[in-house]
Chain A
Amino acid sequence: MKLDPKTPTGPVAAQWTKHKFDMKLINPANKRKYKILVVGSGLAGGSAAATLAELGYQVHCFCYQDSPRRAHSIAAQGGINAAKNYQNDGDSVYRLFYDTVKGGDFRARESNVYRLSEVSCNIIDQCVAQGIPFARDYSGYLANRSFGGALVSRTFYASGQTGQQLLLGAYSALSRQIGKGAVKMHTRSEMLDIVVIDGRARGIITRNLVTGKIESHVGDAVILATGGYSNVFYLSTNAIGCNVTAAYRAYKKGAGFANPCYTQIHPTCIPQAGDYQSKLTLMSESLRNDGRIWVPKNKGEKRAANDVPENERDYYLERKYPSYGNLAPRDISSRSAKEACDAGLGVGESGMGVYLDFRDAIKRLGQNVIKDRYGNLFEMYQRITNEDPYTVPMRIFPAPHYTMGGLWVDYNLMSTIPGLHVLGEANFSDHGANRLGASALMQGLADGYFVIPYTIAHYLAAHKLDGMTADHPEFKKAEAEVATRTKKLLSINGTRSVESFHKELGRIMWDNCGMARNKKGLTDSLKKIPALREEFWQNAKVLGENEEYNTTLERAGRVADFLEFAEVMCLDALEREESCGGHFREEYQTEEGEALRNDTDCCHVTVWEHKGENTKPQMHKEPLAFEEVKLVVRSYK
C-alpha cells in the first residue's frame, strides 16, 4: 500500500489555490456522462450529492434511514466554526488553522487543516443563502458563541439545533436536485460492499432494507460519507443505526484505515441508568460555562448532593487545572471524571457519574438567566432522568461521541483505492487525536460543498468512460458474496441475541480501548474479541428471512462488522506507544498523570491494510511534518 498524501508544494496558505488551478477540469457538457455514487446523506454526503448534481454530474445517493433528512448530523447541538472574524476579536484563517492543529494534539495533516479553515467562511455564506436561520443579534447581524479550545468567538449556531438546521439546508439543496431528476435517491438502502475493478472503485452493492433485494450500482467514482463508528462501544451518543459497515467493507477491499484508535469520549453526557439502556444522550459542552463539576471527598457518601457541605466537596477540575477549570478540554475532563469514579467517589446509583452543579450560577445570576441560556437542555435532562437540575445538581458521565479515525484519504479526499473518496466523519483527515467542538460540522460541509466538487473532476478527467455495466463478473461476484453472507447470518440458528453480543463487545471496548488504555488490557481484548466473534457465528440468533423488512438481520450484519473492526482498533491502540489527545495510554504519562506524547517515534498517521481473514493487518505509516505550527506540549494548568 502506497501512502501518497499528494500535499501540494509551496506555502500552506497558497496550496489550495494553487492546487485548484493545477487540477484537471471537465467540460460542462461532458459532466452529465459521469455517474457518481454518494453513500450517505448527512452533512458530508448530502452537500456533496447536491453540489455535484448542480455541476451536472449524474448522482445516486444512498442512506439507510427512510429519508436523507434523518442522518445523524441532525443531532449536533452546539455549533459550527468559521474564521469570519465578525466579532473583530482577532480571529483569522490562520488562527482557526492553528487552534485546530493544536487541539488535535499535533496528529493531523497541516495542509488539510489549513484548507478546512480557508473554506470555513464560504460555508457560512452558503448556509445563510440557503435560508438557514442562524442566531442573530438585535442588530440583525449573525451572533457567535465561544467553544472549548479557542480564545475567540467563532462559533455560529441555530438555537440548540445547529446540526439540524445545517442538515436541513443540505437536504433542501439535495431535494431540489432530486426534484429535477439530477439525483436519484435510494432510501432504506444499506451499502454492503464496494466493487473494485482494475484497481478502481466502480460501484457498490446495496441491500434494500424493505424488500431484501441485493442490488448492484455502477459508477465512475464512489463517495463514502457514512459517518463515524462510536457504536462499536454499544452505548454512545450516536444514533442506533450508525455503523462501521460501509467503511469496513471498503477496508476489506483495500482501503487503508487510519488511526482507528482515535475516538472522542465526550465529558458531559447523561449517565447510564440501567442494563436495558440503548443509547446515551449528550448534554452540550456549553453547560460547563456555568456548571461546576464535583464529587464528594469521601468514599461511600450517602447524603443527597445538596446536603454535602462545601468542605466535603472536591471540585477536581478547578483544583487540578486552575486556569481552565471546568472548561478544560474534552479529553482531560473525561479522563478526570473516570479517575474520580474509579477511585470510588462517583455519584448516582451506579457510582458512574459526577455532579455538574448550577447552584452557584443560579445564586449569582438568577434562575431566569440560567433558564434563558440552557432551558431546553434542562428540560431534556429532566425528561430523561426525572430530576430537576434547577434544584438538584445534574449527574454527568463521559460517553463515546465522535471518531477521529477513519478511512485514510489524500489531499484530494481519495482513499488508497483509486476512485473511492471519503468525506466527513468517515475519513480521518482533519482532527488528529482530538477534535475541537464545532469543527465536525465544518469539516463535513467543507468536504461536501467545497472540496470534493473540485477534486473529483481531477480524478474523473484522467479516466476514460468505458460503458461498465453491472453484468461485469466482479459485480456478480460481489452480489453473490453479500447474498451468501446474509444467508449465513440467517442460518446460524443460535440461542443468543445479537444485541447481547453487541453489548459484550461494547463492554470490552469501553473497559480496554476507551478513555484510558494499557498494554495488558489491549492484549487481553485481542484474545477476547476473536473468541466473541467465533461465538457470534456459532450461536447468534437471527430470525426471519432476507426477503422482508428484517431489523434483526440488519443489526446482525452491523454487529458482525464491529466484531472484526474492534480488533483493528485495539491493534492500533496497542501500536501507538504514546498518549495523545483522546488516546491515553496509561504507560505514557508524566508524574502528575498528564498525557505524554512521543514526537520522536509517533508523529505519524498509522494506516492499516487488510491482509485476509484471520490474518493480522499490515501497518503503514504516513509521517507528519509540522512546518507552520511548532510542536509543543499542550498545557491547561
Chain B
Amino acid sequence: MNLTLHIWRQKNANDKGKMVTYKAHDISTHMSFLEMLDVLNQQLIEKNIDPVAFDHDCREGICGMCSLIINGKAHGPWSATTTCQLHMREYKDGDEIYIEPWRSKAFPVIKDLVVNRGAFDRIMQSGGFVSVNTGSAPDANATPIAKEKADLAMAAASCIGCGACVAQCKNASAMLFVAAKVSQFANLPQGQIEKKARVQNMVAAMDREGFGNCTNLLECEAACPMSVSANFIAQMNREFFAAGIK
C-alpha cells in the first residue's frame, strides 16, 4: 500500500521545526510501524534527504526506547502496545498518518521525533531504589511476601519508562511513572524503611522537572503500553499524605 505521512522535522533542539509531508510506497501490511519508517528512510536516503530520526532499540516492546504520537495517540491506536509492536495491518492504502514526538516541556526535542527523557532518570535518582549495598542482603527466603503483594509490586514494576503517560496527559503529568515506582516498593517489606523519604523526594523531583499536575483524567492509564493501573496513583497519594503526618 501507499501512504501519506506528515512527520515532525526538527534539525536540533534550537530549530523551530515543522510538519513535512512524505509519500511512503510499497508498504506491506506485515511490517511493524518502525519498519515502515525504515522503508521511508531508505527512500529518503536514496533521494539524499536526511532520514527521519526516531528512538528505538529492542523492537519487542520492553526497552521503552520507542515513542511517537501517531494521529494524536501516544504509541498509536492499539491498546497496551508500544509503537514498535504496532503493525501496518492497522492501516489501508491511501491513509494519512500524522507522526509527532512526545510533547512536554520536561522532554525537550533532540531531533525530529527524538526527545530527551533524562527527567525520568533524575526522578529515579532522587529515591527510586532500596538503599541496600551489594553484599549486605539476608537470605532471599528470610522474609516471605504474600503472593498478592508480590504480584501487585510486579504489576507496578513492569513500567518501561517510555514516557507515554506524560505525552498523552493534557497536563504533561508524570504521576503514573512516579506512582508505579513508589507503589512497587510500598507493596514490599524491603521498601518500608525509606518509604516516607522516597515518596517525598520523588514527588519533589517530579515538580522540579516541570511536569504538570494530575487532574485525574486517566489518559495515562489508557496510553500505557504495559497497562500500569492508575490505582497506583491513588496509592501514591495515600503514601504521600501519610508521609506528611509526623
B135 interface residue (CB < 8 Å to A): yes
B3 interface residue (CB < 8 Å to A): no
A141 interface residue (CB < 8 Å to B): yes
Number of A-B contacts (CB under 8 A): 216
The reply to whether B89 and A240 contact each other, CB–CB distance below 8 Å, is no
Cα A47 to Cα B135 with chains together (Å): 12
CB distance from A348 to the nearest CB of B (A): 12
CB distance from B188 to the nearest CB of A (A): 5
CB distance from A454 to the nearest CB of B (A): 10
Q: List the B side residues contacting A176 at CB < 8 Å.
A: 125, 129, 131
Q: List the B side residues contacting A497 at CB < 8 Å.
A: 42, 45-46
Q: List the A side residues contacting B200 at CB < 8 Å.
A: none
Cα A388 to Cα B10 with chains together (Å): 41
Q: List the A side residues contacting B207 at CB < 8 Å.
A: none
With both beta carbons as reference points, the residue of chain B lying nearest to A129 in the complex is identified as B137
CB distance from B106 to the nearest CB of A (A): 14
Q: Which of these, A126, A136, A187, A276, contacts B137 with CB under 8 Å?
A: A126
The reply to whether B58 and A136 contact each other, CB–CB distance below 8 Å, is no
Choose the segment among B149-157, B164-172, B210-218, B231-239 that binds chain A (4+ C-beta atoms closer than 8 Å): B149-157
Choose the segment among B68-76, B92-100, B108-116 that binds chain A (4+ C-beta atoms closer than 8 Å): B108-116
Q: List the A side residues contacting B139 at CB < 8 Å.
A: 125
Q: List the A side residues contacting B61 at CB < 8 Å.
A: 380
With both beta carbons as reference points, the residue of chain A lying nearest to B38 in the complex is identified as A278
Choose the segment among A61-69, A289-297, A300-308 that binds chain B (4+ C-beta atoms closer than 8 Å): A61-69
The reply to whether A278 and B45 contact each other, CB–CB distance below 8 Å, is no
Q: A133-B154, A497-B42 are in contact. Are A141 and B129 (CB under 8 A)?
A: no
The reply to whether B63 and A74 contact each other, CB–CB distance below 8 Å, is yes
B228 interface residue (CB < 8 Å to A): no
Cα A380 to Cα B144 with chains together (Å): 32
The reply to whether B185 and A131 contact each other, CB–CB distance below 8 Å, is yes
Cα A66 to Cα B81 with chains together (Å): 21
Q: List the B side residues contacting A623 at CB < 8 Å.
A: none
A281 interface residue (CB < 8 Å to B): yes
With both beta carbons as reference points, the residue of chain B lying nearest to A82 in the complex is identified as B140
A12 interface residue (CB < 8 Å to B): no
Q: Which of these, B51, B78, B126, B130, contacts A131 with CB under 8 Å?
A: B130
Interface residues of A in 126-150 (CB under 8 A from B): 126-142
With both beta carbons as reference points, the residue of chain A lying nearest to B161 in the complex is identified as A69
The reply to whether B145 and A159 contact each other, CB–CB distance below 8 Å, is no
Q: List the A side residues contacting B143 at CB < 8 Å.
A: 128
Q: List the A side residues contacting B125 at CB < 8 Å.
A: 175-176, 178-179
With both beta carbons as reference points, the residue of chain A lying nearest to B127 in the complex is identified as A179
Choose the segment among A31-39, A367-375, A409-417, A541-549 that binds chain B (4+ C-beta atoms closer than 8 Å): A541-549
Cα A184 to Cα B224 with chains together (Å): 30
Q: List the A side residues contacting B137 at CB < 8 Å.
A: 122, 125-126, 128-129
The reply to whether B134 and A54 contact each other, CB–CB distance below 8 Å, is yes
Cα A543 to Cα B50 with chains together (Å): 7
B64 interface residue (CB < 8 Å to A): yes
Interface residues on B, range: 35 or more
Cα A172 to Cα B57 with chains together (Å): 21
Choose the segment among A161-169, A354-362, A629-637 that binds chain B (4+ C-beta atoms closer than 8 Å): A161-169
Cα A131 to Cα B42 with chains together (Å): 44
Mask: chain A, 495-510; 1 = CB below 8 Å from B; 0 = not: 0010100000000000
Cα A548 to Cα B55 with chains together (Å): 15
Cα A563 to Cα B11 with chains together (Å): 31
Q: List the B side residues contacting A141 at CB < 8 Å.
A: 141, 144
CB distance from A245 to the nearest CB of B (A): 15
Cα A543 to Cα B44 with chains together (Å): 11
CB distance from A340 to the nearest CB of B (A): 23
The reply to whether A65 and B138 contact each other, CB–CB distance below 8 Å, is no
Q: List the B side residues contacting A548 at CB < 8 Å.
A: 11-12, 111
Q: Which of these, A54, A139, A240, A386, contacts B57 with CB under 8 Å?
A: A240
Interface residues of A in 63-99 (CB under 8 A from B): 65-70, 72, 74-75, 84, 86
Q: Which of these, B34, B64, B132, contacts A278 with CB under 8 Å?
A: B34
Q: A175-B128, A497-B45, A549-B110 are in contact. Are A276 and B134 (CB under 8 A)?
A: no
The reply to whether A172 and B150 contact each other, CB–CB distance below 8 Å, is no
Q: A67-B120, A133-B157 are in contact. Are A552 and B126 (CB under 8 A)?
A: no
Q: List the A side residues contacting B141 at CB < 8 Å.
A: 84, 86, 141-142
Interface residues of A in 548-595 (CB under 8 A from B): 548-549, 551-552
Q: List the A side residues contacting B116 at CB < 8 Å.
A: 66
The reply to whether B144 and A276 contact each other, CB–CB distance below 8 Å, is no
Q: A67-B117, A122-B135, A276-B38 are in contact. Are A384 and B147 (CB under 8 A)?
A: no
CB distance from A91 to the nearest CB of B (A): 14
Cα A161 to Cα B151 with chains together (Å): 13
Q: Which of these, A137, A164, A273, contacts B30 with CB under 8 Å?
A: A273
CB distance from A186 to the nearest CB of B (A): 12
Cα A51 to Cα B61 with chains together (Å): 29
Q: List the A side residues contacting B147 at CB < 8 Å.
A: 136-138, 140
The reply to whether A187 and B118 contact each other, CB–CB distance below 8 Å, is yes
Q: A172-B124, A239-B63 are in contact. Are A131 and B158 (CB under 8 A)?
A: no
CB distance from A157 to the nearest CB of B (A): 11
The reply to whether A158 and B154 contact each other, CB–CB distance below 8 Å, is yes
A612 interface residue (CB < 8 Å to B): no
The reply to whether B45 and A130 contact each other, CB–CB distance below 8 Å, is no
Q: List the B side residues contacting A86 at CB < 8 Å.
A: 141
A450 interface residue (CB < 8 Å to B): yes
Q: List the A side residues contacting B11 at CB < 8 Å.
A: 548
Q: A66-B117, A278-B35, A383-B85 are in contact. Are A125 and B140 (CB under 8 A)?
A: yes
A sample of 18 more A-B contacts (CB under 8 A), given A139-B144, A548-B11, is A51-B134, A66-B118, A129-B137, A135-B150, A136-B145, A140-B145, A164-B158, A176-B129, A239-B58, A274-B30, A274-B31, A278-B32, A386-B89, A543-B45, A543-B48, A548-B111, A549-B53, A551-B51
Would you mind naming 6 contact pairs between A and B with Cβ atoms under 8 Å apart?
Answer: A70-B58, A128-B140, A133-B151, A136-B150, A380-B60, A386-B89
**Across chains A and B, which 9 residue pairs bring their CB atoms closest together, nearest first?**
A140-B144, A179-B125, A129-B137, A172-B129, A133-B153, A133-B154, A125-B137, A128-B140, A239-B57
